[in-house]
């Protein structure tokens, strides 16, 4: 239902050539998902990565993704 990644820049969904090799300074998403059309539901997790000369940095590493973490965060609201 959607791709597994996209470029991020000045606009959240910046246009980028997917055939272009990664370069230092690029920011991309990695967003696997599962969609059940018959149920009308879907879920995806999005991690955002900065490409550096020394490797990739997960910019969303601290984002809660486990059910318990999310429920604790919501209970604080």
With 70 as the cut, is the pLDDT of residue 2 above it? no
Residue 15 falls within a domain, yes or no? yes
Residue 2 falls within a domain, yes or no? no
Residue 44 falls within a domain, yes or no? yes
C-alpha angle 46-49-51 in degrees, rounded to nearest 5: 160
Residue 71 falls within a domain, yes or no? yes
Question: Nearest to residue 9, comparing CAs of 65, 67, 48, 53?
Answer: 48
The domain total for the chain is 1
Residue 23 falls within a domain, yes or no? yes
H or E stretch covering 48? strand 47-52
Residue 21 falls within a domain, yes or no? yes
pLDDT in the model for residue 77 = 73
Residue 48 falls within a domain, yes or no? yes
pLDDT digits (tens, 9 = 90+) for 52-72: 999 999 999 998 988 999 999
With 70 as the cut, is the pLDDT of residue 1 above it? no
pLDDT digits (tens, 9 = 90+) for 37-54: 899 998 888 899 999 999
Which phi and psi (to 5°) does residue 75 adopt? Answer: -70, -25
pLDDT digits (tens, 9 = 90+) for 3-29: 778 888 766 666 677 788 889 999 988
- Structural domain range at position 32: 7-75
């Amino acid at each position: 239902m959607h791709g597994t990644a996209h470029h991020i820049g000045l606009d959240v969904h910046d246009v980028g050539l997917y055939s272009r090799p990664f370069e230092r300074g690029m920011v991309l998403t990695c967003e696997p998902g599962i969609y059940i059309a018959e149920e009308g539901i879907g879920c995806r997790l999005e991690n955002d990565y900065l490409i550096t000369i020394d490797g990739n940095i997960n910019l969303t590493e601290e984002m809660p993704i486990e059910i318990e973490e999310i429920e604790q965060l919501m209970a604080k609201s």
